[in-house]
Structure 1
Amino acid sequence: MTTTQSTAPDTTGADRTRQVVVTLAEVFCVFGTLVGVGVIGTRVEESSGGALAADATLLAPLGPAFSIWSVIYAGLAAYTVWQWLPSSTADLRARRTGWPAAASMVLNAAWLLVTQQGWLWASVVVIVALVVVLGVLVQRLTDLGPAPSLVQRVVVDGTFGLYLGWVAVATCANVTATLVEEGVETSTLVGELVAAAVIAVVVAVAALVVARTGPRWTFAAAAAWGLAWIAVGRLTDEPASTLVGAVAAVAAAAVLGITARAAVRR
């Protein structure tokens, strides 16, 4: 039996605190986004000396890949509103996800702000922390059981599944960009092989997530989306690499295949 509601009488203050913190985190996230898209700062692809541009490394997804952020940000805004609904105030899912959700939004904004300063190693620390927080959040959703409504499936499970899937791929791109900025050569065959190995790690991470949390299609779709755009970037843009492009394409299909297999077995 899945428990989705809590009726504990003495938690009103804690619930209100959580709602306020989630809202403040969302406001901070919006501020960071405005900085990252260049409205009140420098666009991410132009910050840090261009180290995070779509053509900077072998593992950088091509530009259109980043449109997924529009969906994630819309989901985070909807999640913040959902936290304030009377039916959600004391909901166990709201209580269990509110704090890690707020932390993820703060870390998102923090990443955008540190890249403005060119602090690439700091950005690696932040994005790794973001992956961990999102992993904890998605695991909590799994432990709580299936979402009891379509709204929760879309706003909660859908949003954070996409978020985790995309950030898992972005973490590898971030680490690679940092290493390249430090002078690590990736234009040789060795560099291509290392990039291919990193892509294999993404698939392994996806398999682990599926094993622990079940077949979450939003997670798989976001991870496959990022890998597919790495493939397109390497096959059609600079730096060109047929090897990395092919491996990324296979990896995208593999993530979807792993998820489909888990869904069939379940």
Structure 2
Amino acid sequence: MTATAARPTSPLSTADQTRRFAVVGAEIFCVVGTLFGIGVLGTRVEESSGGALAATATLVAPAGPAFSIWTPIYLGLLGYAVWQLAPANAVRERVRSTGWLAAASMVLNALWLLVTQQGWIWVSVVVIVALALTLGLLVLRLTREAPRSTWERVLLDGTFGLYLGWVAVATCANVTAALVDSGVDLGATGNQVAAVVVVAVAAGLGVVLARRLGGRWAVAAAMAWGLAWIAVGRLGDEPRSPATGIAAVVAALVVLAAAQRWHRTQDLGGR
């Protein structure tokens, strides 16, 4: 069997140059939005929108420590913005096919933070759904070709995998927050049943993502993280809901099991 010849690398084009600097611009905008979201330039997320997005606002809001996942995501986005500037990286097909989506995700993230500053909770739902779809398409495109280096695996696959997994859970929480803020109240029992259904939807979404994306551990880990902190919040903080907490634990395990199943299937299929 003869070795397959390496694909020739195409030269850096004007489109590549435009895209890589657009990513840097989007990253700067993302940092500005983040400064608003953490309260440096504006109001902290948990205090904006009338407290609708606080960790104790709804039955499916993750407990406060869950949001520490943004630290590796933001560091990864910064590292990616710098990494993709190198001409050798900018001409990679994986970068070319995902660069504009990466930039869009950064802009949408900042936009979400700025929208919540204004208290526009339903607009924030539209923005986060757009963000989730953008990240889903981005990670799907990453599955077409394996990373060539550890840095690429960390900065592309790892960062955007965590980003997608967290946003998937956050979308469910955001929709719930908008409904509660709009006055939807099904009563003590009804609210808990609805919360369990939302958690089940999140688990189902995790299974779909595992199947479509080949059981990516970064995606599953971020989803399981978010679901686990929903469980912590409902079992140890107000508003208490043991049913929701237990459902969130089960959902986290389901997401991880799905990733294991399809990751293993992908490995076997590649032999």
Q: TM-score range by the shorter chain?
A: over 0.9
Letter in 1 for 2:10: A
User: Does the alignment pair 1:67 with 2:68?
Assistant: yes
- Corresponding residue of 1:111: 112
Shift of 1:210: 1.1
| Structure 2 counterpart of 1:262 | 262
Q: What corresponds to 1:42 in structure 2?
A: 43
Name the counterpart of 1:164. Answer: 164
* In 2, Cα distance between equivalents of 1:98 and 1:185: 42
Deviations 1:68-90 (A, max 9, x none): 00110000001101111232021
The answer for the alignment partner of 2:207 in structure 1 is 207
AA matched with 1:195: A
Cα distance change on mapping 1:34 and 1:4 into 2, 3 Å: farther
Matched positions, count:
264
Q: Distance in 1 between matches of 2:209 and 2:234?
A: 26
- Give deviations 1:232-254, integer Å, cap 9, x for gaps: 00000011000000000110111
Label 1:6 to 1:171 Cα distance change in 2 as closer, same or farther (>3 A): farther
Identity of aligned residues (%): 59
Q: Which letter maps to 2:107?
A: V
RMSD: 1.7
Structure 1 match to 2:148: 148
Kindly provide the amino acid, as one letter, of the partner of residue 31 in structure 1: V
Q: Which amino acid aligns with 1:74?
A: L
User: How far did 1:222 drift?
Assistant: 0.2
Distance 1:55 1:123 in 2: 19
Would the aligned equivalents of 1:3 and 1:92 in 2 still touch at CA under 8 Å? no
TM normalised by structure 1 equals 0.96
8 A contact 2:207–2:254 mirrored in 1: no
In structure 2, distance between residues paired with 1:138 and 1:129:
14
Instruction: State the SS of the aligned residue for 1:180.
Output: helix
Q: Counterparts in 2 of 1:159-198, with a 5 A limit?
A: 159-185=159-185, 188-198=188-198
* Separation (CA, whole Å) in 1 of partners of 2:50 and 2:214: 40
SS at match of 1:258: helix
| Residue aligning to 2:233 | 233
Instruction: Output the CA distance in 2 between the equivalents of 1:112 and 1:4.
Output: 43
| Aligned equivalents of 1:199, 1:62: Cα separation in 2 | 15
Q: 1:208 to 1:6 in 2, by over 3 A?
A: farther
The equivalent residue for 2:269 is: none
Structure 1 residue runs of 5 or longer lacking an equivalent are none
- Whether 1:7 aligns to 2:20 is no
Q: One-letter code of the match for 2:67?
A: F
Counterpart Cα distance in 2 of 1:200 and 1:246: 11
TM-score, normalized by length of structure 2?
0.94
> After TM superposition, where is structure 1 displaced by more than 2 Å over at least 4 residues in a row?
1-9, 263-266
* Residue 265 (structure 1) shift: 2.5
Alignment partner, residue 95 of structure 2:
94
Contact 2:196 2:247 survives alignment (8 Å): yes
5+ residue gaps, structure 2? 267-271
